[in-house]
Amino acid sequence: MSDDAFWQRPAQGASQPPPSAPSSPAPAPYTGAPRSAPPPRGWRPPTVERPAPPRKLPAQDVERIEREEQAATILTKGMGIFAGAVILVLLLIFCGRLLF
């Protein structure tokens, strides 16, 4: 039997298939969660102690932070310029070898 034979229409004079079995009755609707037992008299949820208030942070030295940021910026830019110069020299050497 080929895969398509299953889906073909029955022959003209073929008998009708038997009726299908009756479907099962519809399930009962959801009635909600079951009731829970109440807690014992006098019960309270556990409490947590309040933590101490946060301490005061030390004051920041804004001038020192600015000086350190400026020094870091100068160092970063200097390293970038140096790396760019090295790459440029290597590129010139490489291109010079290809041309000559």
Cα 65 to Cα 87: distance, rounded to the nearest angstrom: 33
Encode burial over 75-88: b for 16+ CB neighbours within 10 A, e otherwise.
eeeeeeeeeeeeee
- Over residues 28-64, the pLDDT tens digits come to 888 888 899 998 998 998 888 999 999 999 999 999 9
Q: How confident is the model at residue 11 (pLDDT cuts 50, 70, 90)?
A: confident
Which 3 state secondary structure label does DSSP give 9?
coil
Mean of the per-residue pLDDT values of the chain: 88
The H-assigned helical ranges of the chain are: 62-99
Report pTM. 0.43
